[in-house]
Structures are given as structure tokens and as C-alpha cells.
Amino acid sequence: VELFEALRIEISAHAAAEEESLYATMLANPDLRDEARHSVSEHKEIDDFFGELTELDPESGEWTAKFEEMRHRYEHHIDEEEEEMFPSASEKLSSEEEKRLADIFERRKPNEIVRAEETEPGDARE
């Protein structure tokens, strides 16, 4: 249970910091907006999985099946980011802008870890 909660906090904080840095910039760019919206919806989907998992008995087969489904969706999300979204963003953003966004991400993530520790899955995501 502790490892599961650590994973939830890390993924939630990473997603929120990513949304406030890269995705916010991508949403403002018409050429990148659809990819950013898609990724934000996947973040919400993963958060919903965490919420569902917290309601299940971690010893049950149902929990294991739900976790495997979440793992599959999360790996799919990461693959899409690395193979499609990040390369598209890199083509449209200057290296200075990429560095600025990376700095924002690094500054935001510690705050998002604290926020994730204080909230339940699904609480802060619409």
C-alpha cells in the first residue's frame, strides 16, 4: 500500500507540473493544442484509475486487473509523449522556450508533490 501511494503521488505530481509547464504552452499554440488536450485527458484517466484502485481490496484479483489496465494506459501515454508529442513540441518551440519550460517543471514539481500528498485521487482534477 505504501509503494502504491508513493507511485500515485509521483505520477500525480509529475502530471500536474507537466500541465503547468509544457502543456500550458502547448495549449496556447494552435499547432500543438490537440496533442496537449489529449495528454491532459490521459492524465485525468490515470488519476481516475488511482481513485478506483483505492476503493478496491489490494489483495483482490479485481485490484490486480485494474492496476494492469492502468499500467498499460500509462505506458501508452508515455510512449505517445516520447514518440509524438515531445518531438512535435520541439519542432515548434525554441531551445530557449524548452529550457524555460523545463525550469518551470522543476520548480513546480516539489509543490505538486506536497499537493498530491494532501489530496485523494480525483479530488483536484476536473
Region of 122 on the Ramachandran plot (φ > 0 left; ψ -120 to 50 alpha; else beta)? left
- pLDDT on residue 122: 66
Structure confidence at residue 123 as a pLDDT band (50, 70, 90): low
The three-point CA angle 111-97-28 to 5° equals 80
pTM confidence score: 0.88
- pLDDT on residue 121: 82
Q: What mean pLDDT comes out for the span 73-95?
A: 94
Give me the amino acid identity at 41. Answer: S
Cα gap 124→122, rounded to integer Å? 6
Mean pLDDT of the chain: 93
Q: What mean pLDDT comes out for the span 23-49?
A: 94
Enumerate the domain spans of the chain: 2-118
